[in-house]
Chains A and B, each alone.
Chain A
Amino acid sequence: MAAIASTLLFLKVKRKPMPTDPEKGIWKIITASSVGTLIEWYDFYIFGSLSTIIAAKFFPSENPTAALLSTLATFAAGFIVRPFGALVFGRLGDIIGRKYTFLLTLILMGTSTFLIGLVPTYATIGALAPILVLVLRLVQGLALGGEYGGAATYVAEHAPIHRRGYYTSWIQTTATLGLFLSLGVILSIRRIVGVQDFENGNGWRFPFLLSIVLVIVSIIIRLKMSESPLFAKLKSEGKTSVNPIKESFGHKLNFKMVLLALFGATMGQGVIWYTGQFYAQSFLLTKCFIDYEQANTIILIALVIATPFFIVFGSLSDRWGRKNIMMLGMLLGILLYRPIFQQLYNLSDTSNKTVTEQTTTTGQSQVMSTASDSTTLKNFEDGSHLTMTSKLNSKGERETKKVMVLGGSPKLKMILLIALMVLFVTMVYGPIAAFLVEMFPTKIRYTSMSLPYHIGNGIFGGLVPFIATLITTIPGSNPLSGLWYPIIVASLCFVIGSLYLSNKMDEDVTD
């Protein structure tokens, strides 16, 4: 990695001189940063979105070692490696510069993603398969940990005063757009090659392989970028940090701001972000039993509706202050999550629906000739239909599976409810890049802002499904009980942020 970094540092690239008017060149800078960040999010998300298929191909549950590696891939990549990547690349970015560091993260992410698409399955190469996938997944987590801090810092250090929230909010759209792109690519390829070929053949590899094309384009764009002017000035004056990690976390003045950034902002932002998108997706699939394609289409449409509001709230934060908007987004999530998710549940609850037609077909079980499998199809007055299958699995246990496809009106309501939750996400996330940049001095900015960001999102946000599952084991829990975790964490963050943060912006980011 050091060799690659050194090589990049000495690359001679022809570039145009920076325009004297800062706003003139800003769109090129935003494009260069955002496109690469979006691709990195896409790369990270396709693994998560295809986790069921990947588990079947590489981590067969009957093999204890493979199952262990699967668990490591799931948890270590997000919880350990992302914050670690934030430290490693944050340090690099504060020493050698923003541009070359997040060029490196892009190369690492793109290469590891592409290679995941090429790894032969467990059935072909045995235990080497899950080991390779685990290593590549960890590299993805490492790269992602270094990407965001660099991109946000880079744009913010070019942005003029009073427009920093607006310009950095374009970076903030990339995480959600990356999710949108990953779902869109997966659904499209799934339709083109067919579900069977996608899940049981090699169709699932295409989203990974496609990444390399996107990454190459991003690398070409980023190679033409100039270094951040603030960092370049710092470097020319010999004022860069020798040890940004020690300065960030070893000096009380900076360390207490890192803690405040985490507990007063990114902790709550992380759970709101995760709950409004990923937890909502999981809720539709596992609690509402919505058909896979319909659930993801609902999420996609909701993302399209709400994504422009990242820019709106980022821009508004330039006038109203970052804190007010972020705290409002957290408060709305705290107050409205339970009623919203209750509504989502009700929209798919068949006890609320009037059956217009019901048919049941039975047939001989393919597992045991003396047993029978059955399929029941119910049509409802609102245009929804439910398919329930009851069959014996390979272990002789009876499994019942429900799949609900919603009619027009309940589907539309679901889209609007999810869009509302994504709106909360845009409120907490739109201003946060500018917020984090303004909190820390230039020489340790990449390091200092990356760690609270990835702890807030990677750890607190990433814990949402695990803790939600844990809560459901408590006697008396119901499908909504898992929401208590994000509600409590966001509440704690709301209180700390409201009490300790000022709404005044630090306009000077040249310190």
Chain B
Amino acid sequence: MLGILWIIAGVAAITLLVYSAATNIHTAKGDIGKPIPWIIIIAVFTPVAIGLVIFGWYSFKGEYDGEIKT
């Protein structure tokens, strides 16, 4: 069931980033007001967030059940 939590976390993270970008671009001062950093960060972070969703899916399906030796 925790897998669902990670899926939600992944979706929430990217949603929050996009919302923050929309709110701050051209309104805030400094780097957070510039579009380029947001484009780079959202472009790079989207696959990471998708990765968290996939991780959550694997967890939900029991792929990580049992000992994971490191």
Contact = CB atoms under 8 A, between A and B. Distances in A.
A260 B45 contact: no
A252 B43 CA distance: 24
- Interface magnitude class on chain B: 20 to 34
A500 B36 CA distance: 36
Interface-central residue, B44, B59, B64, by most chain A CB under 10 Å: B44
Contacts of B6: 263, 496
Interface stretch (A72-80, A96-104, A299-307): A72-80
Contacts of A83: 44
Contacts of B28: 473
Contact of B64 (A68, A76, A262, A500): A500
Indicate the member of B32, B55, B58 with the most A CB atoms within 10 Å: B55
Interface in B12-67: 20, 24, 28, 30-32, 34, 36-37, 40-41, 43-45, 48, 51-52, 54-55, 58-59, 63-64, 67
A473 B32 contact: yes
25 contacts: A72-B36, A74-B37, A75-B40, A75-B41, A79-B44, A83-B44, A252-B63, A259-B51, A259-B58, A260-B55, A262-B51, A263-B6, A435-B70, A459-B44, A459-B45, A469-B31, A470-B24, A473-B32, A500-B68, A501-B70, A504-B67, A504-B69, A504-B70, A505-B70, A506-B70
Contact of A466 (B2, B31, B63, B68): B31
Nearest to A249: B51
Contacts of B37: 71, 74-75, 466
Interface of A: 68, 71-72, 74-76, 79-80, 83, 252, 256-257, 259-260, 262-263, 322-323, 435, 438-439, 455, 459, 463, 466, 469-470, 473, 492, 496, 499-506
Contacts of A262: 48, 51
Q: List 8 tightest A-B contacts by C-beta distance, closest first.
A: A259-B55, A506-B69, A502-B67, A75-B40, A79-B44, A71-B36, A500-B64, A470-B32
A463 B40 CA distance: 11
Contacts of A68: 36
